[in-house]
Amino acid sequence: MPRHLRTVPILRSFDEAKAREFYLDWLGFTVDWSHRFEPDTPLYMQVSRDGIVFHISEHHGDGSPGAHVRVEIEGVRELHAELIAKRYKNNRPGLEHPEWGGIEFTVIDPVNNRITFAEADPT
């Protein structure tokens, strides 16, 4: 029987500097590795933080702008407070309490990909 190891979303990007500002400087991810077939060709990189892994790609066929990824974590309030304290000029997400319970907030990257960080209500 196959065993799931992890799911890694591939998020489209158009501008390396803006992607790095958003994912590294603001969200606090680190670059695990990056790849280009040749200099001046599209970037493909893996970023991660606290077990969350994304692939960020400038390649045409790797996803469409405007994707939405939901990331279930513990510590939504703490992560939200950390991000708000950085005063990132392009995002000021608010905490939300959806009808189905829990607490969450959504950030929007430079090409309109949305990442929702969500935490379930305590059981």
CA 102 → CA 12, 70, 105, distances in Å?
28, 13, 11
In a domain, 1, yes or no: no
Which tokens is 72 given? Answer: 């279930």
| Domain total in the chain | 1
User: Is the pLDDT assigned to residue 122 strictly greater than 90?
Assistant: no
Q: Which domain holds residue 15?
A: 10-119
In a domain, 61, yes or no: yes
Q: How confident is the model at residue 1 (pLDDT cuts 50, 70, 90)?
A: confident
User: Is the pLDDT assigned to residue 8 strictly greater than 90?
Assistant: yes
Check which CATH number belongs to the domain holding 30 and give it.
Answer: 3.10.180.10
Average pLDDT value over all residues in the chain: 96
In a domain, 5, yes or no: no
In a domain, 31, yes or no: yes
- What percent of the chain is modeled with pLDDT above 90? 92
pLDDT digits (tens, 9 = 90+) for 33-85: 999 999 999 999 999 999 999 999 999 989 889 999 999 999 999 999 999 99
Which tokens is 74 given? Answer: 């513990």
